[in-house]
Each structure stands twice: as C-alpha cells, then as structure tokens.
Amino acid sequence: MRQDKISGAREIENKFIRRIRKFLGKKNILDECLSFLSLYPSMGSIWNIANFSFIYGEDAIKKFELIEKAN
C-alpha cells in the first residue's frame, strides 16, 4: 500500500472515481470507462471501479467512498 501512495496509483484511482461519478446511470459510461482503462490497462483497481459502476449503477458511490477511505 505504501508503494501505491508513492507511485501515484492512489491519485489515479481517485481521479477515475471523480471522473466516473459524473457518468453513473448514463448511456456513455461504457465509452468513458474504456477511455480511462486504455490509459492504465494493468491497474486492477481501475477495473474494479469500472465494474462497480456497471454492477451498482448510481449506488456505486457507496463503494467508491469505501475505496477512498481505504486509501
């Protein structure tokens, strides 16, 4: 976890969360997720955030808050 903080992974996760919140429940969320995932294809946490967006829809915000607290 310490290395993630040093490398900027936490900042990338938080940026994606802030960005994806605007698209929850909207038709173009897939395009937005694919756009961001293409920048960081090997970051599992980004894939998890994208999956939460599709599985939970607007309720994904609760999951995002848990991620932000863990960071």
Residues of the chain with pLDDT under 70: 1-7
What's the pLDDT score for residue 63?
Answer: 92
What's the pLDDT score for residue 7?
Answer: 60
What's the pLDDT score for residue 30?
Answer: 95
Q: What is the pLDDT of residues 17-33, one digit of tens each?
A: 999 999 998 999 999 99
What's the pLDDT score for residue 3?
Answer: 47
pTM of the predicted model as reported, rounded to 2 decimal places = 0.81
Residue-range domain boundaries for the chain: 2-70
Distance CA 23, CA 9 (A): 22
Distance CA 3, CA 19 (A): 24
Region label for 43, one of left (φ > 0), alpha (ψ between -120 and 50) or beta (otherwise)? beta
